[in-house]
Amino acid sequence: MIRSIDIESLKFLQSEFKASSDNLLFFKYFVKLSPRGVAVELGAGFGLGTVYLAKRYPQATIVAVEYQRPLYELLLKNLQLNGVENVKPLLCDVRQIEKCLEPQIADVVYSNPPFWRKEFLKNTRKGEIYIKANYEVETTYRDFLKAAKYLLKSSKRFFFMFETARLVEVICELKQLKFTPKRLQFVYPRKGKNSHVFFVESVLGGKGGHLKVEEPLESTP
């Protein structure tokens, strides 16, 4: 069922895959676009981060990549609903990004891909759209990292959100692909609990140096 929700004076239509407060924290506090540059969002869903950042950076161009047609259609509606004109929506699979976009077009790439592990899938009765949006069933985080590397100009920035339990794995993979992590932030469900999600900003081809760890964020209920 499609429902309408309001987030910070923006309107969204969403279906079984819903807005999450952690995703909003990522777009609101962590991702930074080049004010007049080209950004690519990998896995745009119904457009929560696309619309939010397009409004915040009206001079930037955002290419919003999504492969599930029902979510892509909601994305088109949400762009219209909010009067957003600086977004180019693209129905495309990140695993075949080179068929959709030229290499090295982006000043920024950002992504919060599906990251729940396949083995937890047996506990869910959710439908296909929800599963493909949240679980690593078809596409792994490595596919998203490789697509980001293909799209970014040299020395440009990649913002990524993932499950904290797999932080080491993700950082190793980023380094393997010649990204240098520069900024890290952890999100906690509440005080006294372990972090469940982290955000990392990396530079493609950047030199080593210092990693800035930002103050922790708490999920909003």
Ligand X SMILES: C[S@@+](CC[C@H](N)C(=O)[O-])C[C@H]1O[C@@H](n2cnc3c(N)ncnc32)[C@H](O)[C@@H]1O
Task: Give the interface segment with ligand X, choosing from 82-90, 129-137, 181-189, 210-218 (CB under 6 A).
Answer: 129-137
Q: Which of 132, 156, 157, 183 binds ligand X (CB under 6 A)?
A: 132
Q: Is 5 helix (H, G, I), strand (E, B) or coil?
A: strand
Minimum CB separation from ligand X for residue 199, in Å? 12
d(CA 89, CA 69): 12
Per-position x/- string for 161-180, each x denoting binding to ligand X as judged by CB under 6 A, each - no binding? --------------------
User: Could you say whether residue 202 binds ligand X (CB under 6 A)?
Assistant: no
Any idea what the Cα angle at residue 111 is, between residues 26 and 90, rounded to 5°? Answer: 125
Residue written as tokens 């279906």?
Answer: 15
- 43 touches ligand X (CB under 6 A): yes
- Cα 105 to the center of its chain, rounded Å: 18
The Cα-based distances of 28 to 6, 32, 53 in angstroms read: 15, 9, 8
Which of 142, 182 has the CB closer to ligand X?
A: 142
Q: What is the 8-class DSSP label of residue 116? A: B
Beta carbon of residue 139, minimum distance to ligand X (angstroms, whole number): 4
Window 80-119: contact mask with ligand X (x via CB under 6 A): -------------xxx----------------xxx-----
Taking CB under 6 A as the rule, does residue 139 contact ligand X?
yes
Tokens 């930037």 locate to 60
* Residue 99 CB coordination number (10 Å): 8
Spatial separation of the C-alpha atoms in residues 158 and 109, rounded to whole Å: 5
With CB under 6 A as the contact rule, the residue among 61, 68, 78, 202 that binds ligand X is: 68
Give the residues lining the site for ligand X (CB under 6 A): 23, 43-45, 48-49, 65-68, 71, 93-95, 112-114, 132-134, 139
